[in-house]
Amino acid sequence: MSRTKFFAFTTILLVSVAAVSVWQWRSIERLKGDNAHLRDLVKQNEKLAQENARLQKGQLDTGELDRLHREQSELLKLRNEVAQLRKQLKEASARQAGLRTASTNTNQTTVSPIDTFTATVRAAVAPRQTLITGGWSLTPGKHAFALVTPAFLEPSETTPDAPAQVNLQTILIEAPDETLAAIGLNKLIVDGKESGAQKVISAEELATLLKTMESAEGVNILSAPRITTLAGREAEVKVTHPTEINGVSHDIGPSIRISPRLSADGTSFDLSLLAKMRRPAATIP
């Protein structure tokens, strides 16, 4: 080998080694750069993981706070409802107590010191006939009746076309039960204070009834007033007297309101009658 070739080979070898060394150095530098980049990525990933964990914790804390807020709101709402219910219960109890007091007062004020016996009837009654009603027990062992006898009055010669005048004879009588049974009035006896019992008798039957009562013991004629009215006009007879009970004045005694209307043929009366008997109660409050 010539010297020239040796230098040329040596030069080529050195150049090749240098090239390889440069390539290796560059590869190492590139690898170092990639390694550094990877380390940066790892660090960023760790930071992201930490941030994600922090954010998740923050979300959980926010959710917990929301739940606590909701529970507190529900608690406040329930407390308010309980307070309202207690208030309503208190008001209802007060109203109930007031109603009981009012009811007691009403019961106390509605107890009347007066017993009122009434009879309400309506019947067709011819002139001189008598309508009997009542049958109340005013005294133990006795019963009372109201009797009404209507009669026409003769028209005045100066006013012959004037409405018919009616004379009304009333009798309020009380008799023992034995006497009433003897004359057949025991069938009209009532147990309470209100009566709708009625009977119409002739003038002859009335005369027999009064004669029997006059001869019997224990019969009381409570009143026998007479009144005159026009046909179709209501009239009232009262035989009452004021009596003071518990500082209040009351009218005591019988009263009868009568409305005599002529029948279509003008031969009888359609009598509407309301009889009352007021007397002090057996037990005065």
Give the model's pLDDT for residue 30: 73
Q: What angle do CA 154, 160, 165 make, to 5 degrees?
A: 45
Indicate the SS3 state at residue 182: helix
Asked if the model's pLDDT at residue 256 lies above 70, the reply is: yes
Rounded distance, CA 182 to CA 162, Å? 44
Give the model's pLDDT for residue 266: 82
Stretch 226-235: mean pLDDT: 91
Domain boundary among 74, 94, 110: 110
Domain coverage including residue 103: 1-110
Question: What total of structural domains would you count in the chain?
Answer: 2
Q: Which residue has the tokens 């080979």?
A: 9
Long-range contacts of 264-267 (CB under 8 A, 24+ apart): 266/164, 267/126, 267/127
- Are 31 and 157 part of one and the same domain? no
Structural domain includes residue 31: yes
Residue 43 phi, psi dihedral angles, 5° rounding: -60, -40
- Are 217 and 96 part of one and the same domain? no
- Both tokens of 204, joined, read 């002859």
* pLDDT tens per residue, range 135-176: 999 989 999 999 999 998 876 544 556 678 899 999 999 999
* pLDDT tens per residue, range 50-98: 766 665 665 546 666 677 777 777 777 777 777 887 888 888 777 777 7
- Are 261 and 165 part of one and the same domain? yes
Structural domain includes residue 285: no
- Are 236 and 127 part of one and the same domain? yes
* DSSP H or E stretch at residue 228: strand 226-230
- Are 73 and 181 part of one and the same domain? no
Measured between its terminal Cα atoms, the distance across the chain in Å is: 164
* pLDDT tens per residue, range 119-138: 999 999 998 899 999 999 99
- Are 119 and 260 part of one and the same domain? yes
Domain boundary among 75, 110, 145: 110
- Are 100 and 137 part of one and the same domain? no
Q: Which of 135, 148, 215, 207 is nearest to 174 (CA)?
A: 135
Query: What are the Cα distances from residue 224, in Å, to 30, 173, 227, 238, 261?
Result: 147, 8, 10, 10, 22
Give the model's pLDDT for residue 158: 45
**CB neighbours of 135 closer than 8 A, spacing ≥ 6?**
119, 143, 144, 145, 185, 188, 189, 190, 195, 197
